[in-house]
Amino acid sequence: MDKFRMIFQFFQSNQESFMNGICGIMALASTQMYSAFDFNCPCLPLYNLAYGLGILLVPPFILFLLGFVLNNNISMLAEEWRRPQGQRGKDPAVLRYMFCSMAQRAMIAPAVWVSVTLLDGKCITCAFCTSVPVETLGNASHPLLSQGEIQRVLARIPCKEIYNGQQLIANEVAVRYLRCISQALGWCFVLLMTTLAFLVRSLRPCFSQAAFLKSRYWSHYIDIERKLFDETCAEHARSFAKVCIQQFFEGMSTDLVAARCHLPRKAPVDAEEAAEKLLGITDRGTMNTVLKSWHRCKPPLHLHPPALPTGNGWAGEGQPPTHPSAPRRETAAYYSSV
C-alpha cells in the first residue's frame, strides 16, 4: 500500500505529473474502447468509405478534444491569455509552452487509437474494399457485370456470409491484401510518431534551452500560485463561516429573553484563531473586491516592499516587471558563466 501511496503522491505533486497519469489512462481507455466497440461494416458501396474513415478519424478527434477538456491547465491558459495586464506583464513564451505541453499530451490517445485501428485492419478493409485492383488479384474479365454491379459485389467483401463474388475475386485474397496494406500503414504511422517524438526530445536542448527553462518555471509558478490562491480562499471562507456563526449564536443569545440566559464569559479559542485568519477581510463587499482585483490586476512578481516609482530606476520604466530585480542580476551571471 505504501508503494501505491507513493505513486499517488508523485502524480499529485504537480499538474504535469497528474496530466501524465491521465494521459496514460486515456491511452489505455482508447484501446479498451476499440476492443469493446462492435465494428459493423455496412457492406454498401458508398456507405463503406464513410463508415470506415469515420471510425478511423472521428474517435481520435474526440479523444484529442477530451484530452484538452480533462486538462485543468486549459482554463489556466485561457485565463492567463485573457487577463488584463495589471501590474504583471504577460509572457507569450509561457503561453506557448503551456499550449504545446497540453497539445503533446492530448495527442497520445488519438495516436494510439489510429495505430490500433490500422494494425487491426477492419477499418481499411471496410473503407477501401471497393478499390481493390481486380485485374491483378482476380478475374477482371468476368462477363455480364456492369461497373455498378462490380462495386456492389466488392462492397460485400468484409461481410463474408453474404459475399457472392468468389468468381470475381476470392474473398480471402482481397481481405489479405487490404489487411497487409493496413498493417503496413499502421507500422509506418507508429514509426513516424515515435521518430517525431524522439526528434522533439533530443533536438529541443539545441534551441533556446534557457528560454525553455524560463517558460517551464513560470508556467509551473502560475499553476502553483492558482492552487495556493484557491486554498487560501477556502481557508478564509472556513474562518469567515466560523466567526459568522459564532456571532450569530451570540446575537441570538442576547436577543433571547429567557430565565437563565447569559452571555458566554469568553469566546472559544478556535473562534479567536479563526478571526485572526480572516486577514482583515470581514465582509462580503471587501471579499468581492479582493476577488475582482485578483483577476483584473494580478500583483507584480516582486516580493520586496513596493518601491516608489521615482526612487527605483527600473521599476519606473515602461518594461513590464515580469521578473524580480534581484534574480535578474543572477540571470545575467548565469548567461555569462555559460
Partner 1 sequence: MDRFRMIFQYFQSNSESVMNGICGLLALASVKMYTSFDFSCPCLPQYNMAYGLGIMFVPPVILLLCGLILNRQSVLMLEEWRRPPGRRKKDLAVIRYMCSSIMQRAMVAPVVWIVVTLLDGKCLICAFSASMDPEKFAGFANVSTVQVQQLLAKVPCRDDELMTNNTSRKAVSRYLRCWSQALGWSILLILIIAAFLARWLRPCFNQATLLQARHWSNYIDIEQKIFEETCCEHSRLFAHKCILHFFESMRQEIKLHSFSLPREGEGAEAEEDLLRGITDQDQVNKLLKTWYYEKPPLDVS
The residues in 173-212 that bind partner 1, with binding defined as CB under 8 A, are: none
CB of 201 to partner 1, least distance (A): 27
* Subset of 218-247 contacting partner 1 (CB under 8 A): 233-234, 237-238, 240-245, 247
The count of C-alpha atoms lying within 13 angstroms of the C-alpha of 313, restricted to the half-sphere facing its C-beta, is 0
Which stretch in 188-196, 213-221, 282-290, 302-310 sits in contact with partner 1 by CB under 8 A? 282-290
**Distant-in-sequence, close-in-space partners of 331: CB < 8 Å, separation ≥ 6:** 323
> Do the beta carbons of residue 137 and residue 177 sit within 8 Å?
yes
The label of the residue with cell 497539445 reads: 103
Total residues at the site for partner 1 (CB under 8 A)? 74
Of 35, 143, 201, 283, the one binding partner 1 (CB under 8 A) is 283
Nearer to partner 1, 156 or 214 (CB): 156
Cell of 35: 476492443
13 binds partner 1 (CB under 8 A): no
Choose which of 6, 8, 139, 213 interacts with partner 1 (CB under 8 A). 8
Q: At its nearest, how many Å lie between partner 1 and the CB of residue 327?
A: 29
Instruction: Tell me the one-letter amino acid at 172.
Output: E
CA nearest to 222, candidates 73, 5, 109, 85? 73
Site for partner 1 in 24-43 (CB under 8 A): 37-38, 40-43
Half-sphere exposure at residue 337, Cβ-oriented, CA atoms within 13 angstroms: 6
- Name the DSSP letter for residue 201: H
Binding to partner 1 (CB under 8 A): which residues in 75-134? 75, 78-79, 81-83
| Cell 513596493, residue located | 306
Taking CB under 8 A as the criterion, the residue among 96, 160, 296, 329 binding partner 1 is: 296
Kindly tell me which of 253 and 331 has the beta carbon lying closer to partner 1.
Answer: 253
Residues 142-171 interacting with partner 1 (rule: CB under 8 A) = 159, 161-162
Interface region with partner 1, contact rule CB under 8 A, candidates 54-62, 114-122, 135-143, 192-200: 54-62
Query: What's the min distance (Å) between Cβ of 176 and partner 1?
Result: 23
Out of 27, 56, 66, 154, the residue judged to bind partner 1 by CB under 8 A: 66
Cβ burial, residue 93 (10 Å; 0-12/13-18/19+)? middle
Q: Which stretch binds partner 1 (CB under 8 A): 13-21, 57-65, 165-173, 188-196?
A: 57-65
Question: Least distance in Å: CB of 301 to partner 1?
Answer: 20
Give me the least distance between CB of 54 and partner 1, in Å please: 7
233 Cβ contact partners less than 8 Å away, ≥ 6 residues apart? 291
Stretch that binds partner 1, among 2-10, 86-94, 128-136, 212-220 (CB under 8 A): 2-10
Residue span binding partner 1 (CB under 8 A) among the ranges 72-80, 113-121, 133-141, 179-187 = 72-80
> Residues with Cβ < 8 Å from 319, sequence gap 6 or more?
89
CA dihedral for 11, 17, 23, 24, sign (positive or negative): negative
> Which residues 248-277 are close enough to bind partner 1 by CB under 8 A?
248-253, 256, 258, 260-266, 268, 275
- The sign one gets for the Cα dihedral 141, 146, 147, 149 is negative
Q: Which is nearer to partner 1, 181 or 271 (CB)?
A: 271
Whether 185 and 124 have beta carbons less than 8 Å apart is answered as yes
Between CA 110 and CA 130 the distance in angstroms is: 27
Query: Chain centroid to CA 11: how far?
Result: 15
